[in-house]
A and B are shown apart, each in its own frame.
Chain A
C-alpha cells in the first residue's frame, strides 16, 4: 500500500511537471539578481534578470551586433560629432499603463549617470540629455564618442512618473542604509511583469500583455530559481525539477547532452581568461630571486608563454569547452585578428628552458600564483594545470587559491606577483581592455593593471582612442597597441570561456555572448 502511494505521488509529480512546461519555464542558475533597481549594480546576473522586466535603448543579439530596442534608430548629429540622436519607438507602454516618452529616457539617463549609480562610468563622457520631441532624444558628450551606443546595452529605462511618485529618484547605492522602493518593485516596458520575489529563493515573472512587440513570447511564466551548489543544480535538472540550467559545469555537459530528455547548447562567451604579472623592478615578495624581479624580464614571460599547453588545458581541464587563444581579447571584439589569436599548438619546453637560461635563470625560480576558485569556469583547475606546466621548465609555483571576495583585494591593492583574472568586454571594443589592463594605473585608467606595466607611448595612444572619429585611423592605432602588447607579453592569455546552457528537450535557447539569455526569445517545440 505504502509503495503504491509513493508510486502514485511520483507519477502525479511527473504529470504535473510535463503539463506545466508548455508555457512555464523553471530557470535555475547559480545566483540571484543583487537588486531590482536597474541602475544600482553593474553586474551580469542582475542585468540578465532586469532585461526581462526593463528594456534598454539598444540591445545586442547573440552574434554581438547592436540591434534596436526602445530606440529604433540612432546616429551622430549631422553638424555636431559630439551629439548622438536617438529616435524612440512609438506606442510603448510601461507595465502600469503609462506611456513611454523621451522624458523617461532623459530621466533614466540622468539617473544612470547620477552620483550613486554604479553605471556612471559608462556615461562619464555624457554632458547632458535633452528631449527634442516626444520621441527624439539628443545626448551631448564631452567629445566625439563614436562608440557611445555600445555603452547603452545595460542602461535600462524607467518611468519618470512612477519613480518620482515612489520617491525612488535616487539610486539605491550598494551598501546603503536606506530602503528604496525600486529595489523590490518594478515598472518597466519589458516582456514580463514581476509577480513575486523572494531573494535567493524564487522569483516569478508573468508575461506582459501590453508589450509593444507583436511577436509575443512563447514562455508566459518564468520561475527563476537560484541554486548555488553545482551538483544540486545539475541534480535538479536531471530529476526534472527545473527546465533550464544556465550555469552548467563543463564536466557535466557530456552527461546532460547524453540524457534523452535534455539538450545542451554551447557557445563562446565574451570573456577571456588570462594571467598577469607584477612587472615593477623591485624583487617579488614571493620569489627566491631576491635581487630583481624575474617576470619583469620579457624573455621570462616569453618562456612562460611557450611552456603553456593551451590545447591540453582545453581538452582535460575544460572538457573541450573553451577556445584557446594567444591574445587577451575575445574574438567578438573590435581589434581582434586571427594573427593575434595564434598560439603555440604544443608546449615547447626546450625552447622555454633555453630562454630562461638566457635570462639568467637556468634553474628557474619560485613564485606564488594567486587564483580565484569560484569566479570563472574551473579557474582553480586551470591555475593548477599551469603550475604543473611551469614546473616542467623549472619555475616552481606555489598556488594560492581564494574565493573571489578575497582575491579581488589583492588585484585592487596590487598585492599579487602572478594572478589569474577573466575579462569581459561589454563595449565590444579593444579600448575597453587597454583602458583597464594596459594603461598605467592612474585616475580612471589602469584599474586592473596591478602589475604596474607602464609605457608612456602606449598610454598616449590609448587615450587618443576615446575621441578619434576616423574609424580607419582608430583601428590602426588599436592594431599598433596590440602589436606592442603582444611583443612585450604583457598578459598571458589562455582561452575564451565557452558557455553551456542545459535544458529540457523541446526548449530552444541560444547561448548569449554576455551570458544574458533572453527567455522571451525561447521557442518551445520539438
Chain B
C-alpha cells in the first residue's frame, strides 16, 4: 500500500515538474513582458535595465531553477501587472472560481443524470430524440457565443439577471462567498449555466450509454424475471451501478471545469482565477500565468491521486497486482 502511494506520489511530482517546465518555457514565447510593463514614455535603457532586473538576461535553465526554488518556498513571485504577491492574488480569486465550478458541476450533474436516465429508459421516444439533438446544439455552440447570447436575452432585453461580476460578497475571513446574498446568487446563474452546458451534455451521454449497457446485463434481466417493479430495477439497480463511473468522471472533470472557466469568466467578468489568467496573458504577466498553470496541474494531480488511492482501496485486483509488482 505504502509503496503504491509512494510510487503514485513520485509520478505526480514528475508530472508537476514537467508541467512547470513546459509552462515556464512556453511563456518565454508568448510576448515580451518588458514591452507592456513600461509605458509610452520609456526609453531604451529602461528596457535593458528592466530586463536585467527581471533576470530575463539570465540563461534559461537559471531562470527555471530560480523559479522552482522560489515556488517550493511558496513564493510564486510578484505579479508584474498588479504588483501584488501572486500567491495572494490566486488565493483571493480562488473562491469565485471554485463556487462557479461547483455550481456548474451541480447543474451538469443534476440535469445530466436526469436527462440521461430519461433518454436511456425511452431510447426510441420522440422526446429523447429532441433532447439528444438539443444537447448537441449545446456542444456545437462556442462557449463565448452562449455567454453573449444569455447576457443579451436575460440581462439586456429582459433585465432579469445581472450581466457581469459576482454581486455582493460576504467575507468569511478566509473565504469570500457570493452564495449568501441574493445578488450573489443571481449573478451566479448565467455564468454557471454557460459553463455547465458542455459538461451537461457529456454527463447526459455518459449516463445514457452506461445505463443502456447496464440494462442489458443479466442481473437486470434476472431482476425483471423475478418480477421486481420497473421503478426498483431502473433506479435501485441500474442507476446505482451507472453512477459510480459517472461520479468518477465528474470528479476527474472538475479540474478541467476550473480551467475551462477561462472563457466563461472572461465573458461574464467573473473575478476568478480564469479571468486573472486571461488578463495576465494579455500583458504577459509571467508569474501569474506560470502559477495558474501549476495550479491547474496541482488540482489535476491531487484529484487523480485521490481517485487512484480510492480505486486501490476498493478494487482488490489492483492490490494483488501491486503486491506482485513488489
A–B contact at 8 Å CB threshold (below): yes
Binding site for B on A (CB under 8 A): 6, 9-10, 13-14, 34-35, 37, 40-43, 118, 121-122, 172-180, 183-184, 198-202, 225-229, 231-233, 235-236, 238-241, 374, 403-406, 408-409, 412, 423-424, 444, 447-448
Which residues of chain A have C-beta atoms less than 8 A from B35's C-beta?
A: 405, 408-409, 412
> A33's closest neighbor in chain B, by CB?
B82
- Asked if B31 and A405 sit within 8 Å, CB to CB, the answer is yes
Question: A118-B39, A122-B41 are known contacts. Are A232 and B151 too (CB-CB below 8 A)?
Answer: yes
**Cβ distance A315 to chain B, nearest Cβ, rounded Å:** 27
- Asked if A228 and B159 sit within 8 Å, CB to CB, the answer is no
Q: Complex formed: what's the CA distance from A184 to B88 in Å?
A: 13
Q: Complex formed: what's the CA distance from A406 to B78 in Å?
A: 22
Binding site for A on B (CB under 8 A): 31-33, 35-44, 47, 50, 53-54, 77-78, 80-85, 89, 92, 148, 151-152, 155-156, 159-160, 162-166, 182-183, 186, 266-269, 271, 275-276, 278-279, 282-284
- Asked if B148 and A447 sit within 8 Å, CB to CB, the answer is no
Q: List 10 A-B contacts (CB under 8 A).
A: A14-B159, A121-B42, A121-B43, A180-B83, A228-B266, A232-B151, A374-B282, A409-B35, A444-B43, A447-B42
**Cβ distance B42 to chain A, nearest Cβ, rounded Å:** 7
Apart from A174-B38, A227-B164, A239-B163: 14 A-B pairs, beta carbons within 8 A:
A10-B160, A42-B42, A43-B39, A118-B41, A121-B42, A173-B53, A175-B37, A175-B80, A184-B84, A200-B271, A227-B165, A403-B31, A423-B40, A447-B44
**Cβ distance A147 to chain B, nearest Cβ, rounded Å:** 15
- Asked if B182 and A9 sit within 8 Å, CB to CB, the answer is yes
- Asked if A408 and B53 sit within 8 Å, CB to CB, the answer is no
Q: Complex formed: what's the CA distance from A178 to B39 in Å?
A: 21
- Asked if B282 and A232 sit within 8 Å, CB to CB, the answer is no
Question: A34-B81, A231-B151, A405-B32 are known contacts. Are A174 and B279 too (CB-CB below 8 A)?
Answer: no
**Cβ distance A13 to chain B, nearest Cβ, rounded Å:** 8
- Asked if B284 and A405 sit within 8 Å, CB to CB, the answer is yes
Q: Complex formed: what's the CA distance from A233 to B267 in Å?
A: 10
- Asked if B151 and A172 sit within 8 Å, CB to CB, the answer is no
- Asked if B159 and A239 sit within 8 Å, CB to CB, the answer is yes
- Asked if A232 and B39 sit within 8 Å, CB to CB, the answer is no
Which residues of chain A have C-beta atoms less than 8 A from B282's C-beta?
A: 374, 403, 405
Which residues of chain B have C-beta atoms less than 8 A from A239's C-beta?
A: 155-156, 159, 162-163
- Asked if B83 and A34 sit within 8 Å, CB to CB, the answer is yes
Which residues of chain A have C-beta atoms less than 8 A from B81's C-beta?
A: 34
Which residues of chain A have C-beta atoms less than 8 A from B268's C-beta?
A: 232
- Asked if B78 and A199 sit within 8 Å, CB to CB, the answer is no
- Asked if B156 and A406 sit within 8 Å, CB to CB, the answer is no
- Asked if A174 and B37 sit within 8 Å, CB to CB, the answer is yes
**Cβ distance A106 to chain B, nearest Cβ, rounded Å:** 23
